[in-house]
Structure 1
């Protein structure tokens, strides 16, 4: 059996497994980030042009983004799930262009530190950072999607995002949160302390 046929069989098996999960969860997976289609979008069975096309979505279609990697995102639209080219998605309220997610008011506050905890109410393992710290990919430190609460000490704020390199949904936090909001709780992948 050639390696191209093996990859196709594996990709279709993964797509079938994802479809079963989608059906069992009623089409809505917890913690998904919202996005819009900004250009006509082709869904594929895997993250790349070499994977088979499964469907096409129109401009403005609402999507749930499960996870992004470099140039591709795993998305769900109604009963359809597949991989979409990231440059065809808008993470803002309306389709506005590449990486046009919500505009955050970054408040430069001063000195202090921000501590993220793996447990709610400031419990469990933690990472603390001071003003100026930039953590673009928590997976490199073994803490991707691990945190559930944040404590702010002093005059700082933190710009926290669901995906690495500040992609997807982000929030600026300037006060303690014993439980992170539903988009960041066990979904935080990057942050910057101001």
Structure 2
């Protein structure tokens, strides 16, 4: 029997497809010494440090952090503002303002995923925060533990978010339905980390990269 659980009590607190990241790696160089961490944030454990001028392959970026593949030393996450494309390394006349951040993003719409990864003048788009809600109009998102909108379910109004899912729902979501208007962003790790995907329509069966692999979410217009 399907059991509906109140989302307020249950959910306390899209770059898509892991294999794509390696194919889209970008060569980079450390502009100065910087710590290498186990996750995208200063609250994660320190694994080592890049030296100024050290060459790396940038596998993916989330917000202001990038995962780098090192030739020597442990791979991990570093702050993106300490990296720049290897192609513009050590130009004595380069101004500090010429440093270009890496960026990575993915959006999933009715026509399939749209992936961007590379170098640009703008920072990578962070997980988008909830936007102010218009007058209550019944727009909501409902999450399900089974495909085809089956299993246990929990619904939230558009504009809600959860930085992590409680046991029983963490890594259990297999489908979701958007009722009315709105977008749903799901992330593989807590705090909108580990890779996220944005959907503008209901998903009766999540992509294998996200099925039973969702630990945080947010909804917005």
Normalization by structure 2: what TM-score? 0.49
Whether 1:175 and 2:201 are equivalent positions in the alignment is yes
Query: Residue 100 of structure 1 corresponds to which residue in structure 2?
Result: 124
Q: Structure 1 CA distance, aligned partners of 2:38 and 2:198? A: 34
How big is each residue's C-alpha offset from its partner over 1:26-59, in whole Å with a ceiling of 9 and x where there is no partner? xxxx85683767653776799533x5679x9724
Q: Which of 183, 187, 191 does residue 213 from structure 2 map onto?
A: 187
8 Å CA contact 1:75–1:81 kept in 2: the answer is no
Larger radius of gyration: 2
Q: Whole-Å Cα distance in 2 between the matches of residues 176 and 192 of structure 1?
A: 14
Of 166, 171, 192, which residue of structure 2 is paired with 1:166?
Answer: 192
CA gap of 1:64–1:136, structure 2 versus 1, over 3 A, is same
User: Any gaps of 5 or more consecutive residues in structure 2?
Assistant: 1-16, 84-101, 105-116
Structure 1: gaps (5+ residues):
1-29
Alignment length (residue pairs): 157
- Which of structures 1 and 2 has the larger relative contact order (alpha carbons within 8 angstroms, sep 6+)? 2
Give secondary structure in 2 for the equivalent of 1:159. Answer: strand
8 Å CA contact 2:58, 2:68 repeated in 1: no
Q: Say if 2:112 is the partner of 1:119.
A: no
Aligned-pair CA distance for 1:129: 0.8
Local SS of the residue matching 2:177: strand
Q: Which structure: greater strand fraction?
A: 2
8 Å contact kept, 2:103–2:125: yes
**Within 5 Å, which residues of 2 pair with 1:74-89?**
82-85=75-78, 87=80
Q: Is the 8 A contact 2:60 2:66 kept in 1?
A: no
Computed over aligned residues only, the root mean square deviation of the Cα atoms, in angstroms, reads 4.6
Q: How does 1:15-54 map to 2 (within 5 A)?
A: 31=18, 34=21, 39-40=29-30, 48-49=45-46, 51=47
Give the Cα separation in 1 of the matches to 2:163 and 2:142: 16
CA change 1:147–1:130 in 2 (3 A) is same
Between the aligned partners of 2:120 and 2:184, the Cα distance in structure 1 is 25
Q: Do 1:31 and 1:187's aligned partners in 2 also have CA atoms closer than 8 Å?
A: no
What is the rounded CA distance, in whole Å, between the counterparts of 1:97 and 1:142 in structure 2? 41
